[in-house]
Amino acid sequence: MDNPAQLREYVQKAIVDIITEKLEKGTMNDERAKQIAKYVLDMLPDDISYPKLMAVIPKLDDEFTELSAAVVPIMSDYEKKVKQAVDGQIHKLIEAGKLDEALSLTKKAIAYDKNLT
């Protein structure tokens, strides 16, 4: 999902589903639900860009571990897409004999991956 508005809505719906389930089961109180809702709305404004969204999503469950069920699948898919794209670029650079560029891109990809988690 590359459209930031659609992805933001998807994340928000997944979080609402988590909150609703936990409230119904009694494993979350109203105050905690309100804190999570406010935090998510603050972190995911309507006009958020895709790069900013992808930087914010993995941080949502840092404060509220309950949100891992929403965050982990999204980040896993995103990381797979990024890895495939980078692997393809690195392969092309190696085939073209541009080893220094391939190494540089590999280092950037590793640094980027560390920032996602």
pLDDT tens series, the chain, 117 aa? 678 999 999 999 999 999 999 999 999 999 999 999 999 999 999 999 998 999 899 999 999 999 999 999 998 888 888 889 899 999 999 999 999 999 998 888 888 777 765
8 A C-beta contact, residue 16 and residue 49: no
Provide the domain limits for residue 30: 4-116
The full length of the chain comes to 117
Q: Give the model's pLDDT for residue 41.
A: 94
Structural domains counted in the chain: 1
Q: Give the model's pLDDT for residue 111.
A: 83
In this structure, the dihedral spanned by the alpha carbons of residues 39, 42, 47 and 50, taken in order and rounded to 10 degrees, is -40
Q: pTM for the whole thing?
A: 0.75
CA–CA separation, 43 vs 56, rounded Å? 7
8 A C-beta contact, residue 59 and residue 74: no
